[in-house]
Amino acid sequence: MIASSLVERYVNGQCEQVWAELHALGSAVRRLDHFDDGMAVARETMRRVRANCQTLILRLESLGWRFGYDWAIDLDEDDLARTPTLLGEPVPPPVLDELERRFGVMPLALRAFYEIVGEVNFVGTPLKRRGWPTPEEGLDPLYLAGAADLTPGNRGPGTGRAPITPDALGKYWLGGVGEAYIDLPDRRVDAPVLFDGGPLYLAGQRLTLVRYLRAALSGGGFLNFAPGSAWVGRPSDDLATLIRDLLPV
């Protein structure tokens, strides 16, 4: 029997344990005896995500990181228009209700992300500091597309695709192999992040939306600096400054 005080446990530090219990419920998280707890945890998680993003923006700027696309040569305005903003605006619940009618039910975590964070894009001018890779070497800033980018699915009416993020090279318009996404509808609390129909993994775990956000935040806003990632040249001093006292998600 799942505990009834999930939010309290989450706030008290059992973040990963609480999410594991919610994952284990599968679509049963939509039952009346679980839904409110699941949605409350998802919203608290995304409030922490937004707060951490605000903290990281200030800290990265203090290191000299310039958010945006000043680095781009021959800037394509159409490409730029398709990128998320640095930190988005919350999407009103009635708009999300309509999107769910059109594209399918969203996992609770995705809906809470749109409702509280909106979108996020940490792409910026690469730092010339010790331990910081170039985009060609795999620099992978936090990036999560907004609800406006939802598209119809290929499984008929009422299905959709929620774009999550291009790969590391794609974020810098260097080619890359494509975009990660979530298929809709998905009635679970969180959903696997897919690429070309198959799952993605990080540190031996199947990647989901919450695990992607948790990993990128634990890497100071960069997925390649997250514990368990393949990157070995982390800027340890800068990373310690960036992640100091971030809220656990």
- Could you read off the pLDDT of 123-164 as tens digits, one per residue? 999 999 999 999 999 999 999 999 999 999 888 889 999 999
Residue 248 falls inside a structural domain:
no
Report yes or no on 236 lying in a domain. yes
**Which residues, listed in sequence order, are joined to residue 194 by a DSSP beta bridge?**
181, 199
Determine what percent of the chain is predicted with pLDDT higher than 70: 98
Per-residue confidence band for 4, with pLDDT thresholds at 50, 70 and 90: low
Domain membership flag for residue 15: yes
Give me the domain span that covers residue 50: 6-243
Give the confidence band of 203 by pLDDT, cuts at 50, 70, 90: confident
Decide if 209 is inside a domain: yes
pLDDT tens-digit series, residues 7-27: 999 999 999 999 999 999 999
In a domain, 207, yes or no: yes
Per residue in 65-106, pLDDT (tens digit) is 999 999 988 777 888 888 999 999 999 999 999 999 999 999
Residue 1 lies in a domain: no
What is the number of domains present in the chain? 1
User: Using CA atoms in the order 169, 174, 177, 179, what is the torsion angle rounded to 10 degrees?
Assistant: 60
| 28 part of a folded domain | yes
Query: Is residue 183 one of the residues assigned to a domain?
Result: yes
